[in-house]
Amino acid sequence: MIDSYGVTDRGLRRQLNQDRVYVADGPVGPLPNLYIVADGMGGHNAGELASAICVRVIEDELKGMRNVSPEKALETAIKAANSAIWEQAQTRAGCKGMGTTVVACTCLKDDMLVANVGDSRAYLCSYDDDIQQVSVDHSLVEEMVQMGGLERSKARTHPDKNIITRAVGAMSEIDVDLFRVSIEQGDIILLCSDGMSNMVEDEDIGDIIWSDGTLRERAHRLVDMANENGGRDNISVVLIEPFAE
């Protein structure tokens, strides 16, 4: 049995919450389950609109699919969301330049499949306390780390850490990165926006995830810690326990 919980919070510095979360423990089209975090960006309420469109279109596209692989399903649905947001950005007043990150996950028997665009993250938290970032950020800082120009330990505090290099709706076409990783009994999956990952160290994430309590209680502890550490952005967290007892 799979168990999950999702929460999103405005944080302490923002007037609007432009994040969206989506949690479905049951089938969505060809996928056995589906979990999404989207972090919108844009002036006024455009970012809020972008993340909402993203989640809605992904769900609608998947529900209309049959006989397609999970990888193709997620990629196609996210590309459809990109087209929908791009079209709105070109034609709707006040929406030019809007976009959103997205990280989506589905659990397939002994594997997790992750699709991402932008810098919202998927982590696999194993029972031996190992925390592995499954997704790879599409950000200027991540490119600097990959090229050897910046130590990973300094990436979190770099002044350009919020500059992303890929977003859903920012261009007419996008590439979607896919990752498939084995999961085991006792593992917990975390999806989050950068309002969480920028504010809470990986070690603290692990401490909270392996603390006592329900997934709901632990998800809210993560949000609380992000706010205690400054709450500079909207904060979204989805926790998934693929093999819950």
Domain boundaries, the chain: 3-241
| CB of 78 closer than 8 Å to CB of 56 | no
pLDDT for residue 129 is more than 70 = no
Domain at 3-241, CATH class: alpha beta
Count of CB atoms situated within 10 Å of the CB of 122 = 27
Cα dist from 91 to 19, 47, 79, 94, 166, whole Å: 22, 15, 19, 9, 21
Mean pLDDT computed over 155-171: 82
How much is the pTM? 0.95
List of residues 6+ apart from 2 with CB closer than 8 A = 25, 33, 107, 240, 241, 242, 243, 244
Has residue 187 got a pLDDT over 90?
A: yes
Assess whether pLDDT exceeds 80 at residue 156: no
**pLDDT tens-digit profile of 46-83?**
999 999 999 999 999 999 999 999 999 999 999 999 99
**Is 71 strand, coil or helix?**
helix
Q: Extract the tokens encoding 68.
A: 């397609």
Q: Which residue has the higher pLDDT, 152 or 103?
A: 103
